[in-house]
Amino acid sequence: MEICSKCSSPSFYTRRYSGEKFCEVHFKESVISKVSRTISKYGMLKYGERVGVAVSGGKDSLSLLLIMEKLCRKKGLELTALTVDEGIEGYRDEAISNATSITKKLGIRHVVVSYRELFGFTLDKALRQDDRDVSSCSFCGVMRRRAIDEAALRAGVNVVATAHNLDDFVQTFLMNLLHGDVERLGFMSPSYKDGAFPLRRIKPMMELYEEETALFAYLSGIPFQSVSCPYMHEGLRSEVRDFLNQLEAKHPGMKYVLFNSCMEVISHFNISKEKSKPCKFCGMPSSSGICGTCRMARLVRGGV
Amino acid sequence: MEICSKCSSPSFYTRRYSGEKFCEVHFKESVISKVSRTISKYGMLKYGERVGVAVSGGKDSLSLLLIMEKLCRKKGLELTALTVDEGIEGYRDEAISNATSITKKLGIRHVVVSYRELFGFTLDKALRQDDRDVSSCSFCGVMRRRAIDEAALRAGVNVVATAHNLDDFVQTFLMNLLHGDVERLGFMSPSYKDGAFPLRRIKPMMELYEEETALFAYLSGIPFQSVSCPYMHEGLRSEVRDFLNQLEAKHPGMKYVLFNSCMEVISHFNISKEKSKPCKFCGMPSSSGICGTCRMARLVRGGV
């Protein structure tokens, strides 16, 4: 029987890239302390900040909420959960009700915004049209990002934490290279912030493997969603994910090494902050004078 | 029947990422003109230079030799073939005799050096030892690189062309990331040159897909080797290669996009030329004062 590296209980999980073994209690502790170290390492939170957590209601974002609740309580920081209702019939309600019941239990303020109230259409409605030139996930991603910004501004928070993990991070890095979007690497920097914009985004779980966040969720009794998004279209991302998982299985720790390489590459890309211009429709930062959200929303509204 | 984009002959090859179709003649022409454009684009050759081509005797390096012979003849540049005999019984002789007969036919000067004369041992002998801390390919790669430098210096050339293609290039890029060797990205730049060293290395086929160089070799009647290297140990490289080939099959042109992304990333890594120090044993450039070749060779000699 294998023994936890921290106590004499039986171990149930081996962190293959470090060789550490954990019982359930110490595994959960190690996840929380890893998030805490990531936050310190990259200076993600400052004293007196008002923190929002983007909570879709899936296992990753609910794990983040649990962890941030503990860490913010310790640091005396205010915490608000921010949820976006995209308007996806038969899928979104379950996640939102999970989010609502957990925030209630933890006594965390919960701000919910919807595509319908913000943009005048639900995702279901928008995707019924054919004149988009992007995939459903890219479209929804741009709109959701803005919706979270809106929720954050309403809630009066100045930092928004999202549940991206190490796997998401290295996948996105490689996808940017495979799509030729090298200039986007700079936006991946943990210290990137658009100078003109009152919000900062942080990824406190970016140094945790996906399997670790999933296991944390399971051990924390977080409900897993029973249905997947009906519009899910992952294409390239799932090919990249499979490749990296195969590599990791053969070479334990390789995703971690890759993550560090990505961070080093990213540090060579300094995005000039003066580049962004206010969007002429909504005033939010944009690269060309019309932001992606307004461009897409106008297309949809023209057609709905 | 599909028709060549350049003439009215039937096409036998479609360049999937550009949509161009080629008959055999125009395919070969397009490969040669692509190499010529790569050479111009990165300023790989200058007027009056003495050019060496590293010729292992495999299909890639013999294709490069054929192409460089044509291009150098046009530009009035002197060309020498450089071959290294690592000392691998039952494998190397076939390739060297292919190289010899082709250089003879083309009337190209051919300089052959061997591990035995340069280092005092054959690869067969060196690999019989167990105290190496690197794979056979890494060991042989370091020694062969030096052997080519020696052959080049003897031949009096100042530029050495190697047969690396686009696939090799993007594989190496990703492998550097997966190994955490980010500082090596700078060495991949086509304009990288160690300031203290009288040789420049160029990769004129770096913008050609591997399948294109293989097809060029086939159409040019270049003999394919009947045996593989007995020490071949590709591990990670073949996993990366398979992944990229699968991606390319689903998304034609993706390797090409990735190549351009790699080049853009690499342009952010300026290797400081002052970093290299002369090796205290051989005087060649090194990062630490003892070069990799001397470090490895001394280990082997200690044991042989």
Contacts with B258 from chain A: Cβ below 8 Å: 177-178
Which of A62, A6, A51, A3 has its CA nearest to residue A33? A6
Contact state of A262 with B176 under an 8 Å Cβ cutoff: no
Give the pLDDT confidence score for residue A118 in this predicted structure.
92
Q: For the purposes of burial, counting CB atoms within 10 Å of the CB of B8, is it exposed (0-12), middle (13-18) or buried (19 or more)?
A: exposed
Give the CATH number of domain B40-303.
3.40.50.620
Give the pLDDT confidence score for residue A63 in this predicted structure.
97
State the ipTM, two decimals.
0.88
| Partner residue opposite A243 with nearest CB, options B243, B261, B262 | B243
Q: Give the whole-angstrom CA distance, residue B136 versus residue A190.
A: 39
With a CB-CB cutoff of 8 Å, which residues 228-247 of chain B face chain A?
Answer: 236, 239, 243, 246-247
Give the pLDDT confidence score for residue A275 in this predicted structure.
65
The DSSP H or E segment spanning B278 is strand B277-278
| Nearest Cα residue in chain B from A185 | B265
With a CB-CB cutoff of 8 Å, which residues 171-230 of chain A face chain B?
Answer: 176-182, 185
Measure A32 CA to nearest chain B CA, in Å: 26
Strands A13-15 and A20-22: antiparallel
In which band, very low, low, confident or very high, does the pLDDT at B132 lie, cut at 50, 70 and 90?
low
Contact state of B251 with A264 under an 8 Å Cβ cutoff: no
Measure B249 CA to nearest chain A CA, in Å: 12
Contact state of B261 with A177 under an 8 Å Cβ cutoff: yes
Which of A278, A60, A54, A217 has its CA nearest to residue A151? A54
Give the pLDDT confidence score for residue A304 in this predicted structure.
47
Give the pLDDT confidence score for residue B265 in this predicted structure.
96
Measure A234 CA to nearest chain B CA, in Å: 14
Q: Give the whole-angstrom CA distance, residue B66 versus residue A278.
A: 56
| Partner residue opposite A269 with nearest CB, options B258, B261, B268 | B268
Phi, psi of B277 (to 5 degrees): -120, 150
Q: Is some CB atom of chain B closer than 8 A to the CB atom of A258?
A: yes
Domain A32-303 has CATH 3.40.50.620: yes
Measure A199 CA to nearest chain B CA, in Å: 28
Contacts with B269 from chain A: Cβ below 8 Å: 268
Contact state of B258 with A176 under an 8 Å Cβ cutoff: no
Contacts with A263 from chain B: Cβ below 8 Å: none
Mean pLDDT of B122-137: 78
Q: What is the CA radius of gyration of chain A?
A: 20
Cα separations (Å) of A256 from A16, A215, A248, B122, B179? 11, 18, 9, 38, 10
Give the pLDDT confidence score for residue A188 in this predicted structure.
92
Give the pLDDT confidence score for residue A226 in this predicted structure.
75
Give the pLDDT confidence score for residue A132 in this predicted structure.
64
| Partner residue opposite A177 with nearest CB, options B181, B258, B269 | B258
In which band, very low, low, confident or very high, does the pLDDT at B223 lie, cut at 50, 70 and 90?
confident
| Partner residue opposite B258 with nearest CB, options A178, A258, A262 | A178
CB of A33 closer than 8 Å to CB of A25: no
Query: What's the pLDDT tens digit per position in A10-60?
Result: 999 999 888 999 999 999 999 999 999 999 999 999 999 999 999 999 999
Contacts with A175 from chain B: Cβ below 8 Å: none
Rounded (10°) angle between helices A59-75 and A210-219: 80
Contacts with B243 from chain A: Cβ below 8 Å: 239, 243
Contact state of A258 with B182 under an 8 Å Cβ cutoff: no
Give the pLDDT confidence score for residue A230 in this predicted structure.
83
Measure A181 CA to nearest chain B CA, in Å: 7
Give the pLDDT confidence score for residue B165 in this predicted structure.
97
Give the pLDDT confidence score for residue B304 in this predicted structure.
46
Cα separations (Å) of B278 from A2, A57, A65? 51, 60, 55
Q: Give the whole-angstrom CA distance, residue B169 versus residue B241.
A: 11
| Nearest Cα residue in chain B from A238 | B247
Could you tell me if residue B291 is left (phi over 0), alpha (psi between -120 and 50 degrees) or otherwise beta? beta
pLDDT at B11 over 80: yes
Give the pLDDT confidence score for residue A178 in this predicted structure.
97
Geometric angle at alpha carbon A182, from A176 and A188, rounded to 5° = 70
Q: Is some CB atom of chain A closer than 8 A to the CB atom of B261?
A: yes
Which of A185, A208, A190, A165 has its CA nearest to residue A266? A185
Query: What's the pLDDT tens digit per position in B225-243?
Result: 777 888 877 789 999 999 9
Q: Give the whole-angstrom CA distance, residue A44 versus residue B149.
A: 49
CB of A259 closer than 8 Å to CB of A164: no
| Partner residue opposite A247 with nearest CB, options B176, B182, B239 | B239
Contacts with A135 from chain B: Cβ below 8 Å: none
**pLDDT tens series, chain A, 304 aa:** 899 999 999 999 999 888 999 999 999 999 999 999 999 999 999 999 999 999 999 999 999 999 999 999 999 999 999 999 999 988 888 889 999 999 999 999 999 999 999 998 888 888 887 666 677 888 888 899 999 999 999 999 999 999 999 999 999 999 999 999 999 999 899 888 777 778 999 999 999 999 999 999 999 999 887 778 888 877 899 999 999 999 999 999 999 999 999 999 999 987 655 567 888 988 888 878 888 888 888 888 775 4
| Partner residue opposite A239 with nearest CB, options B180, B182, B247 | B247
Q: What is the pTM of this model?
A: 0.91
Give the pLDDT confidence score for residue B271 in this predicted structure.
66
Question: What are the sequence ranges of the domains in chain A?
Answer: 32-303
